[in-house]
Amino acid sequence: MLDRLRGRLESSLGSVGSAFAKVEGSPTAWTAVGLALSVLAAVAYATARYEGELLGGVLILVGGWFDIVDGAVARVTNRTSKRGAFLDSTLDRVAEVALFTGILLGAYAPPATVLLALSLSLLVSYTRAKGDALGVKLAGVGIGERSERLLIVAVSSLVGLLGWGLLLVIAVAAFTFVERTYTAVRGLGGEGERPEAPGPEPK
């Protein structure tokens, strides 16, 4: 939902990309800034209770802004590339793992809850990546994409209800995983129509 909204606002983000490109023209640099903010949020969660929860929520929101900035800079500088897309997606997963690790260390919820929230979040991202690789576009399918999940974590942190926020992340991520799996299976056809996989899964 938020990604679709961002797509509609792309034309108005040109000025944002131009402004940040004057400071640093490399989209990867801004991606790294977003990752650094996510790591700082993880540290905040891990080292303090309510103060860490509040600071973590703020840092997630600021880091989310730089998720928009890197794409805007890439477009205005004409530096969109497969390498950049790979780095952006991979570092997003690193950021999520860092955040949930910080939440786990801060004991804001039972370990099983944090692990399930992280696992389902990664499964949502994996289904999209695998679907795209097999020719089934899953962007925008489901209500629990990364932007929505991080917004839930951030807002619930700001109001001191991170434990409940994680339960909501589990719910929307599980729904999105099931919806994407169903959509992909339908799009790929029956057993006899399934396209040849591009290669073995990496170990």
CA–CA dist 124, 144 (Å, integer) = 8
- Give 76's contacts (C-beta < 8 A, 6+ positions apart): 14, 17, 18, 21
Contact 30, 116 (CB under 8 A): no
Q: Is 92 a catalytic residue?
A: yes
Torsion sign (Cα): 143, 164, 36, 124: negative
Please tell me which residue in 67, 88, 92, 132 is annotated as part of the active site.
Answer: 92
Q: Which residues are catalytic?
A: 92
